[in-house]
Amino acid sequence: MLSAAARPGRRPPRVFVVVWLAGALTVGSAVALYTPAVVALFALTMLGLVAVRPVDVPAGLYGAYGAALLVAAWSNPLELYESIWWWDLAVHAVTPGIVAVVLLLVLVRRDVLPAPSTAPTRRRVGSVLLVTGLGTALAVLWELTEWAGHSFVADSINVGYVDTMGDLAVGGLGAVVAGVLVTRSRTLARRRTRARSGSR
């Protein structure tokens, strides 16, 4: 799995290996210690970790992406969402935005979308709106998953109108911030050009 994700003839960057191992240990811990619902959650998290290849995103961004997914997943069985009043909002504010940026760069790498622009104002606004839309959609999907888990898996999963609206609000706000940061990063804006030149 590790070799398949790397460039031919190159080892994956260390941060990818560390995050993948952390994800694998997470799934193993869940199997040994937690319920099937938690195992499914961690397996889904691991899928998100290995679905991104080293050629898709910079190592530093992937490290933040991996940390965000693992923190969001572990916060459930460790009951951090319930024990720390602001934790739920903080995780929902950070995670969708980071995942949206990674998803955007994956789509750029595959020539599905144009690279984020640092040039004319209209294109910058378009890039911010794109990341915001992706992040907000991910926040909605997260809330739908929580609702499904509460309804069909375990009623201990916390859902409610105030909780859902708050999570969606901070998720959308975090996506806006992530979109602005993307358009201000020349490294990310040139990702598509580098990917194309490297594939020739």
Q: Give residue 151's identity as a one-letter amino acid code.
A: S
Provide the token pair at 46: 């691991």
The torsion of the CA quartet 120, 56, 135, 116, rounded to 10 degrees, works out to 0
Task: Check: CB of residue 114 under 8 Å from CB of residue 192.
Answer: yes
pLDDT per residue rounded down to tens, the chain (200 residues): 333 333 444 567 899 999 999 999 999 998 888 888 888 889 999 999 999 988 888 999 999 999 999 999 999 899 999 899 999 999 999 999 999 999 988 888 888 877 665 556 667 788 889 899 999 999 999 999 888 877 877 776 778 888 899 999 999 999 999 998 887 775 555 554 554 455 44
Interior CA angle at 23 toward 19 and 24, to 5°?
A: 120
Provide the token pair at 159: 């859902």
Count other C-beta atoms under 10 Å from residue 160's C-beta.
9
Distances (CA, A) of 64 to 30, 57, 60, 95, 138: 22, 11, 7, 9, 17
Distances (CA, A) of 121 to 132, 133, 152, 184, 186: 16, 18, 46, 11, 15
- Measured CA to CA, the distance from residue 105 to residue 115 in angstroms comes to 8
**CB hemisphere CA count around 94 (13 angstroms):** 16
Q: What is the pTM of this model?
A: 0.82
